[in-house]
């Protein structure tokens, strides 16, 4: 039998410092779907604006989603997209800044994942094949690419 335990790490003795984290991820879609996104022809709305707002909301709610993450003040959150039509990819990059006792990596990762899931949700009707499956759509490469702790 495996026992499980959970505990929030005590950060009480740490001091507040500026912390920045940047994370990235990508979604592969059909080229026709990418064209719809670029031409703002997706029925559900402006894909990139919706994904950006979803990411920012998720960043702010990270402690509600990742249960052992500490609630920290978010001073800035930037969400950027790079659409690579030739490779049928949309890259998402999220940068989060705080002055806190702990880092903002989880917030940046949560923002990226949520932006990508939002893009999938808004575009999935164009990705279905004749069986109703999604053979092309793929979310991948979610990772932290930068972590800064300014002493």
- Which of 10, 35, 121, 129 is catalytic? The answer is 121
Q: Given pLDDT bands bounded at 50, 70 and 90, which one contains residue 19?
A: very high
Q: Given pLDDT bands bounded at 50, 70 and 90, which one contains residue 1?
A: confident
Whether pLDDT at 151 is above 90: no
What digits encode the pLDDT tens for the residues 113-142? 999 999 999 999 999 999 999 999 999 999
What digits encode the pLDDT tens for the residues 21-65? 999 999 999 999 999 999 999 999 999 999 999 999 999 999 999
Task: Please indicate whether residue 44 or residue 151 has the higher confidence score (pLDDT).
Answer: 44
Give the domain ranges of the chain.
17-150
pTM, two decimal places: 0.95
Is 13 considered catalytic here? no
Three-class secondary structure of residue 74 per DSSP: coil
What digits encode the pLDDT tens for the residues 63-72? 999 999 999 9
Class of the CATH domain delimited by 17-150? alpha beta
**What's the sign of the alpha-carbon dihedral 79, 82, 85, 89?**
negative
Whether pLDDT at 7 is above 90: no
Question: DSSP alpha helices (H): ranges in the chain?
Answer: 31-38, 47-60, 62-65, 105-127
User: Mean of the pLDDT values across residues 78-95?
Assistant: 97
Question: What is the rounded (10 degree) CA torsion for 73, 82, 50, 97?
Answer: 0
Q: For residue 24, what are the β-bridge partners?
A: 93, 143
Say what the pLDDT of residue 3 is.
80
């Amino acid at each position: 039998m495996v026992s499980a335990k959970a505990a929030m790490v005590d950060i009480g003795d740490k001091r507040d410092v500026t912390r920045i984290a940047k994370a990235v991820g990508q979604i592969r879609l059909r080229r026709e779907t990418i064209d719809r996104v670029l031409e703002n022809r997706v029925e559900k709305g402006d894909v990139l604006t919706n994904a950006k707002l979803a990411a920012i909301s998720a960043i702010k709610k990270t402690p509600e989603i990742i249960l052992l993450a500490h609630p920290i003040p978010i001073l800035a959150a930037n969400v950027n997209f790079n659409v690579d039509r030739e490779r049928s990819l949309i890259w998402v990059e999220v940068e989060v800044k705080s002055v806190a006792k702990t880092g903002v990596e989880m917030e940046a990762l949560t923002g990226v994942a949520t932006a990508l899931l939002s893009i999938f949700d808004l575009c999935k009707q164009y990705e279905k094949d004749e069986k109703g499956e999604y053979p092309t759509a793929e979310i991948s490469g979610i990772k932290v690419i930068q972590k800064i702790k300014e002493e």
